Amino acid sequence: MAGRQQDVQTLVQRLARRYQRSNSGLAEDLRGLLRSAPHLDAPMREHGNAAPVPLDGDSRQSLIRTDHLGPVTPPVLTRPVRAQLEQLRDEHRLQDRLREAGLTPSRAGLFVGPPGVGKTLAARWLANELKVPLLVLDLATVMSSYLGRTGSNIRKVLDYAKASPSVLLLDELDTVAKRRDDEAEVGELKRLVTVLLQEIDDWPASSLLLAATNHGDLLDPAVWRRFDVIINFPLPGPAELEEALMQYCGDENTEVIDFLVQVLAGYSFADAERFVMTAKRKAVLSGERLFDTLLASAQEHFRTMDHADRLQIALDLMQDSELSQRRVSELTGVSRDTLRRRQRDR
């Protein structure tokens, strides 16, 4: 249990044998678990990848993480981003049609955007839509090996990814770069990306390489050029924030959502989600309704904003939501007189 996968598997096998007679249904379920679980000799048997998981030559640590996919809640996306992602998906789903026209699907996509806007989530969603595993390259392990080893590590990962259809994700390129203030290591990282992208030229169209970064400028132009698709993930606007908040709250209370959309303007999805989750926990602990906790948290946050912002939010609420002047005044603490006056001046 403490990370000793093989021991657990042996134990499950033993239990399956023990319950064979007395509870054959349970025994069969246990065997099913063993069949579907990743295994040292056949790490992804359910996807038919017979190659062993690539390991670093020195540390024997795995160079990739495999996302065993369950259902993924589709990310909330602006229309252009959604269109780009769907095309990427369709190019791979319908590659026969492309081939008839003498074309191949895009092989490499770069996701650029600030933290917490859905880059990793989108990669998981894509893999799930294509019904292939998501392989995440563990950059830290790849880089921790001594310099000369990086190239062979990458080849191992690529061979593994090529062996069966998959989405290979190079996640958070820049975190690795930033964590290391060593110039040589950053250079090594750039080299790593270049090697990877050169290698994918002869990739099977059945696999897709994705990379995610907060800072596109970390990559040099030669690298940029190799990506067939570049998708910019923006911070959510009011419409996206509203949709995501509905998803997180599971609450139809539009009054709170309208207020939250204003208060959390400029937040990332991840920040907004954290805000809601904290309120949810608080609601459970205090026995309050989520609606009340959310409202209280929103108001608390609102009070930390400066006067001009608060006034602006109150006026926007008057204009964009169904809330009455009285309710807006209650929520924001801006007097009805002020609201009336400002509205006249607008």
Ligand X SMILES: Nc1ncnc2c1ncn2[C@@H]1O[C@H](COP(=O)(O)OP(=O)(O)OP(=O)(O)O)[C@@H](O)[C@H]1O
Q: Shortest approach of ligand X to residue 53 CB, angstroms? A: 23
* CA atoms within 13 Å, Cβ hemisphere of 320: 17
* 75 contact, one of Mg ion, ligand X, none, CB 5-8 Å limit per kind: ligand X
Helix (H) or strand (E) holding 303: helix 290-303
Q: Are 218 and 177 in contact (CB under 8 A)?
A: yes
120 lies in the site for Mg ion, by CB under 5 A: yes
Q: Shortest approach of ligand X to residue 271 CB, angstroms? A: 8
- The bridge status of strand 208-213 relative to strand 229-232 is unpaired
* 127 contact, one of ligand X, Mg ion, none, CB 5-8 Å limit per kind: none
* CA atoms within 13 Å, Cβ hemisphere of 154: 22
* 76 contact, one of Mg ion, ligand X, none, CB 5-8 Å limit per kind: ligand X
Report the distance separating Cα 176 and Cα 213, nearest Å. Answer: 10
The one-character DSSP state at 49 is B
The one-character DSSP state at 149 is G
> Could you write out the DSSP letters of every residue in 2-42?
-S-HHHHHHHHHHHHHHTTTTTHHHHHHHHHHHHHS--SSS
Q: Which residues of this protein are in contact with ligand X, per CB under 6 A?
A: 75-77, 113, 115-121, 172, 212, 214, 244, 269-270, 273
Q: Shortest approach of ligand X to residue 179 CB, angstroms? A: 13
Scanning 40-48, 120-128, 143-151, 244-252 for contacts with Mg ion by CB under 5 A, the matching segment is 120-128
Report the distance separating Cα 234 and Cα 115, nearest Å. Answer: 10
Radius of gyration of the chain from its Cα atoms, rounded to whole angstroms: 25
* 269 contact, one of Mg ion, ligand X, none, CB 5-8 Å limit per kind: ligand X
The closest residue (CB) to Mg ion is 120
Tell me whether residue 56 or residue 171 sits nearer to Mg ion (CB atom).
Answer: 171
> Could you write out the DSSP letters of every residue in 73-110?
PPPP--HHHHHHHHHHHHHHHTHHHHHHTT-----EEE
* 244 contact, one of Mg ion, ligand X, none, CB 5-8 Å limit per kind: ligand X
* 53 contact, one of Mg ion, ligand X, none, CB 5-8 Å limit per kind: none
* 121 contact, one of ligand X, Mg ion, none, CB 5-8 Å limit per kind: ligand X
* 85 contact, one of Mg ion, ligand X, none, CB 5-8 Å limit per kind: none
Report the distance separating Cα 322 and Cα 342, nearest Å. Answer: 18
Q: Shortest approach of ligand X to residue 238 CB, angstroms? A: 14
The closest residue (CB) to ligand X is 118
Q: Shortest approach of ligand X to residue 113 CB, angstroms? A: 6
SS3 call for 186: helix
Cβ contacts of 322 within 8 Å, gap of 6 or more? 254, 258
Q: Shortest approach of ligand X to residue 274 CB, angstroms? A: 8
Q: Are 213 and 190 in contact (CB under 8 A)?
A: no
Tell me whether residue 75 or residue 105 sits nearer to ligand X (CB atom).
Answer: 75
Tell me whether residue 30 or residue 208 sits nearer to ligand X (CB atom).
Answer: 208
Scanning 82-90, 119-127, 134-142, 307-315 for contacts with Mg ion by CB under 5 A, the matching segment is 119-127
| Token couple for 301 | 């946050």
Tell me whether residue 32 or residue 115 sits nearer to ligand X (CB atom).
Answer: 115
Q: Shortest approach of ligand X to residue 121 CB, angstroms? A: 3
The one-character DSSP state at 184 is H
Tell me whether residue 89 or residue 119 sits nearer to Mg ion (CB atom).
Answer: 119
213 lies in the site for Mg ion, by CB under 5 A: no
Q: Are 150 and 143 in contact (CB under 8 A)?
A: yes
Q: Shortest approach of ligand X to residue 84 CB, angstroms? A: 13
Q: Shortest approach of ligand X to residue 263 CB, angstroms? A: 18
214 lies in the site for Mg ion, by CB under 5 A: no
The distance from CA 14 to its chain's CA centroid, rounded to whole angstroms, is 37
Binding site for Mg ion (CB under 5 A): 119-120
